[in-house]
């Protein structure tokens, strides 16, 4: 049982490049989330999904897009990367929309 | 809007000493609070939740509504407790129901 898996683990982008982060969960969870983690700021919610085919904005959605075409996958896209998007990105999922979430191992993204 | 504050970015104690990681929150409703932990090179995981009133790995946390606090405590720290700890609040926000995390406290337990 892999839980929540994120791909890739590390990435370096040049300003203006695009990329997609993939999150996959095998727990049949309805809810999935993308967070970014920055020093001293904790984790901030970027986007989330309450089920297949749905997405919603979180606290800091600007510059990101998401898609949930399949229940087990939640994709986070950066259309035109900026240095301010240098961060560690975490995906999470939960069975119900409550506080107990299961997290992926994180993706460290650097935009130069 | 709900907010979670962890005033200490770093807490350093010796093995065997008591530990208290502070968490304060602002929320107008009835809060549901959690502590998450991230050990080195591991993923973030749930440590405990206030509704369970449980003790996990010797840690406890009591919700104090009067002081709007949810401090994490352990009477005798162990080296393996060294990690990053996040307090989180579940509740409604402008972005819908969500977990709001504090800035985190790094706990270092010295031998």
Tens-digit pLDDT profile for residues A6-38 = 999 999 999 999 999 999 999 999 999 999 999
Q: Which residues pair with A56 in a beta bridge?
A: A48
> How many whole angstroms from its chain centre is CA B2?
16
Name the more confident of B50 and A76: A76
Query: What pLDDT is attached to residue A97?
Result: 67
B96 has pLDDT over 90: no
Given a contact cutoff of 8 angstroms between Cβ atoms, the answer to whether B90 and B4 are in contact is no
Q: Which tens digits make up the pLDDT trace of B16-50?
A: 999 999 999 998 778 889 999 999 988 999 999 88
CB burial of residue B9 (10 Å; 0-12, 13-18, 19+): exposed
Show the tokens assigned to B38.
């991230």
Residues of A in contact with B88 (CB under 8 A): 99
Q: Residue B51 gets which letter from DSSP?
A: G
Tell me if residue A20 falls in helix, strand or coil: strand
Residues of B in contact with A46 (CB under 8 A): none
Chain A contact residues (CB < 8 Å to B): 4, 33, 35, 40-45, 48, 56-59, 90, 92, 97-106
Chain B contact residues (CB < 8 Å to A): 4, 6, 9, 32-34, 42-46, 49, 86, 88-90, 93, 95-99, 101-104
Query: What pLDDT is attached to residue B8?
Result: 95
How far CA A97 is from CA of A4, A38, A69, A91, B18, in Å, comes to 16, 24, 19, 15, 34
Query: What pLDDT is attached to residue B54?
Result: 79
Residues of A in contact with B52 (CB under 8 A): none
């Amino acid at each position: 049982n892999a839980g929540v898996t994120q791909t890739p683990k590390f990435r370096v982008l040049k300003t203006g490049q695009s990329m997609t982060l993939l999150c996959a969960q095998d727990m049949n969870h309805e809810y999935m989330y993308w967070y970014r983690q920055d020093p001293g700021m904790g984790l901030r919610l970027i986007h989330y999904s309450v089920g297949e085919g749905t997405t919603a904005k979180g606290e800091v959605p600007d510059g990101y897009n998401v898609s949930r075409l399949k229940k087990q996958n939640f994709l986070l896209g950066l259309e035109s990367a900026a240095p301010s998007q240098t961060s560690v990105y975490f995906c999470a999922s939960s069975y119900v929309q409550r506080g107990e979430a299961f997290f992926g191992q994180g993706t460290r993204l650097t935009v130069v | 809007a709900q907010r979670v504050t962890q005033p200490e970015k770093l807490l350093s104690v010796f093995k065997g000493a008591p530990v208290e990681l502070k968490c304060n929150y602002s929320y107008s409703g009835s809060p549901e609070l959690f502590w998450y932990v991230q050990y080195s090179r591991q993923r973030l995981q749930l440590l405990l939740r206030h509704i369970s009133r449980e003790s996990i790995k010797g840690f406890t946390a009591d919700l104090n509504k009067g002081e709007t606090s949810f401090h994490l405590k352990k009477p005798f720290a162990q080296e393996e407790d060294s990690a990053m700890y996040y307090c989180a609040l579940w509740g409604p926000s402008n972005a819908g129901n969500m977990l709001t995390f504090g800035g985190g406290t790094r706990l270092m337990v010295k031998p």
